[in-house]
A and B are shown apart, each in its own frame.
Chain A
Amino acid sequence: MSEQLSATLAELMIVAASEAWRDNGELLASGITTIPRLGASLAKLTHSPELLMTDSESYLVSEPVPLGPRGDYRPKYEGYMSFERVFECVWGGKRHAMIGPTQIDRWGQTNLSAVGPDYAKPKSAVLGVRGLPGNSICHINSLFVPNHGPRVFVAGEVDMVSGVGYKPERWLPGMKQDYVDLRLIVTDLCVLDFGGPEHAIRVKSLHPGVSFEQVQAATGFPLLKAENLSETPLPTAEQLAIIRKLDPHNLRGMVLKGDPPAVKAAA
């Protein structure tokens, strides 16, 4: 238990993220950036060995590749997954990606392109829509937010809808919404899902020491409470050991400012 209490918030988020890929079956698990990638890796090494993963470049591997310089480690290749094949995988729906968008709205729509009211002259140009339009309309998606606040969870609609969501006005007759499947949002305060009426966003679990009111105050739109609202579980000793092996250079310690502990009183 003392080891669990020394877990960091990043490690708790990795465990929470790994839950997104439970019972997904055989599909490509794509965790983009450190915490989602460690979450997918942990899922594959614990509850969901059937998941497919890549070396984050172009090969499928039978064992998740550790992050950062690998020393003597040799990736265990089992197949090929170039960018072209990733697109084909996306269109066929056999993927569950977790990415961190710049903005998220109450409908689950996401923005990774440009922030500000004027698209022709944005206040902040980010990356571009990247693969979000395709990912979001073709396969399962979860989201990652390392800085839960009203600038991410915006009051209105996101400034440039890059990833689709559940806003009815966006879906005109004949457009197929069937494959849209938003699962979890893992933040530094809580885990959210889309289990409310009309896919409304709910707080599913609160990280230790965080209140629902605190989450609501950090969110630009009203949130629901899941009926079985719980506390996000701390990593087990076994999970922590796997995470350390997957991330020998502690890159997870650089994601959140100050690398805070999972249980604040333990600090």
Chain B
Amino acid sequence: MALNKQKSAAEAVAQLRDGMTVGIGGWGPRRKPMALVREILRSPLKDITVVSYGGPDVGMLCAAGKVKKLVFAFVTMDAIPLEPYYRKARESGAIAVEEYDEGMFEWGLRAAGMRMSFLPTRVGLATDVLAKNPQLKTIASPYADGEVYVAMPALKLDAALIHVNEADRLGNTLLRGHDVFFDALYARAADHVIVSSEVVHEKFELDADTAKLNPFERYLVHSVVHAPGGAHPTYLGPHYGWDMEHLKRYNASATEEGGWAKYVEEFVNVGEAAYQTQIGGAEKLAKLKLPVF
């Protein structure tokens, strides 16, 4: 089948190259492509620039020394507000950063998807986002108002990693959560999109209401990875909530001697199948209550 884009996580991640700029979908501790992140942790990939509304995806990649530069607006696990490994990397000066407002970040992805070099915005003016990003320039309106804007540059991605509820082998996807975040913009901004999915169908046969849950076109998708539980320990609406017990344990590892090495040994090196068993399997996922805000 010519349009079969299904690959193993290892095959999909093997397409990434050192030094690439990689966007990671989701938001904080919500619908992060964690199975793909774990696959990167197991791979030799290095020196990546990570572009993310950050959660434990950013923390783990920082802990493993994979990150050369982080393009971000925040890194948080919500109920655990401060991400421990992001903080370590940041406070030790181990990573370079490009810090933007959440909306500027969206604008950057949008510009990339529209093949524009920048989009104008008022956001960022009169803040240190300009001072700390000397590459940022302002631009004056060519119209009578003459207003000065930030020219938010395109955040072009070499690759994007996105986790979805359902996909088919052709690269069609469905997002069933209450909020789809900005994943469609990551997909549009990227040259290469790797989708991981809880369920992979041979070929979608959808009714019209379900088809409305399709966030972006399949021509954007290059690889489809079957990854049940692939957002764990983050929140995948409406199927499972975040695993606070696991996130607490991960958080605590940052203050333990050799804590990260132990976490990697127990949860990463074992491979994804063993990871899912380790965390309690499908039974456990089914019991993870959806967060109440």
| Bound together | yes
In the assembly, what is the distance between CA of A160 and CA of B93, in Å?
16
- B74 in the interface, Cβ–Cβ < 8 Å? yes
In the assembly, what is the distance between CA of A87 and CA of B105, in Å?
11
Looking at B9-17, B120-128, B217-225, B270-278, the stretch in contact with chain A turns out to be B120-128
Q: Check A129 against B99 for contact (C-beta < 8 Å).
A: yes
Q: Check B293 against A128 for contact (C-beta < 8 Å).
A: no
Enumerate chain A residues within 8 angstroms of B129, measured Cβ to Cβ: 129, 133, 162
Enumerate chain A residues within 8 angstroms of B101, measured Cβ to Cβ: 129-134
Q: Check B127 against A55 for contact (C-beta < 8 Å).
A: no
* B 134-153 binary contact with A (CB < 8 Å = 1; else 0): 00000010000011100000
How distant is B73 from chain A, measured CB to nearest CB, in Å? 5
Query: With A58-B178, A129-B100 in contact, do A172 and B127 touch (Cβ < 8 Å)?
Result: no
- A127 in the interface, Cβ–Cβ < 8 Å? yes
- B249 in the interface, Cβ–Cβ < 8 Å? no
**Interface positions of B from 39 to 84, Cβ below 8 Å from A:** 54, 72-76, 81-82
Q: Check A84 against B182 for contact (C-beta < 8 Å).
A: yes
Q: Check A127 against B82 for contact (C-beta < 8 Å).
A: yes
Number of interface residues of A (CB under 8 A): 51
Q: Check A87 against B103 for contact (C-beta < 8 Å).
A: yes
- B181 in the interface, Cβ–Cβ < 8 Å? yes
Query: With A59-B178, A68-B292, A91-B103 in contact, do A133 and B75 touch (Cβ < 8 Å)?
Result: no
Looking at A115-123, A202-210, A213-221, the stretch in contact with chain B turns out to be A115-123
| The residue from B82, B100, B148 contacting A126, defined by CB atoms under 8 A apart | B82
Query: With A128-B72, A129-B99 in contact, do A171 and B126 touch (Cβ < 8 Å)?
Result: yes
Q: Check A162 against B127 for contact (C-beta < 8 Å).
A: yes
In the assembly, what is the distance between CA of A164 and CA of B82, in Å?
23
- How many interface contacts (CB-CB < 8 Å) are there between A and B? 135
Enumerate chain B residues within 8 angstroms of A177, measured Cβ to Cβ: 126
In the assembly, what is the distance between CA of A167 and CA of B126, in Å?
9
* A 83-110 binary contact with B (CB < 8 Å = 1; else 0): 1100100110000000000000000000
Q: Check A128 against B75 for contact (C-beta < 8 Å).
A: yes
- B104 in the interface, Cβ–Cβ < 8 Å? yes
Q: Check B92 against A69 for contact (C-beta < 8 Å).
A: no
Enumerate chain B residues within 8 angstroms of A176, measured Cβ to Cβ: 122, 125, 147-148
- B168 in the interface, Cβ–Cβ < 8 Å? no
In the assembly, what is the distance between CA of A56 and CA of B30, in Å?
14
| The residue from B140, B179, B180, B292 contacting A174, defined by CB atoms under 8 A apart | B140
Q: Check B91 against A87 for contact (C-beta < 8 Å).
A: no
- A46 in the interface, Cβ–Cβ < 8 Å? no
- B87 in the interface, Cβ–Cβ < 8 Å? yes
- A173 in the interface, Cβ–Cβ < 8 Å? yes
- A125 in the interface, Cβ–Cβ < 8 Å? yes
How distant is B233 from chain A, measured CB to nearest CB, in Å? 19
Enumerate chain A residues within 8 angstroms of B124, measured Cβ to Cβ: 133
In the assembly, what is the distance between CA of A160 and CA of B180, in Å?
31
In the assembly, what is the distance between CA of A41 and CA of B180, in Å?
26
- A74 in the interface, Cβ–Cβ < 8 Å? no
Q: Given known contacts A129-B73, A162-B129, what 18 new A-B pairs fall within 8 Å (CB)?
A: A82-B179, A83-B179, A91-B122, A114-B90, A121-B93, A123-B91, A127-B74, A128-B73, A129-B74, A132-B101, A133-B101, A133-B123, A137-B123, A160-B128, A161-B127, A164-B125, A170-B126, A177-B126
4 interchain residue pairs of minimum CB distance: A174-B148, A128-B74, A56-B293, A121-B93
Interface residues of A (CB under 8 A from B): 55-59, 65, 68-70, 82-84, 87, 90-91, 113-114, 119-134, 136-138, 160-164, 167, 170-177, 179
A-B contacts, 15 listed (Cβ < 8 Å): A65-B293, A70-B292, A113-B128, A123-B91, A126-B82, A127-B81, A127-B82, A129-B101, A129-B129, A133-B101, A133-B123, A138-B122, A164-B125, A164-B126, A174-B148
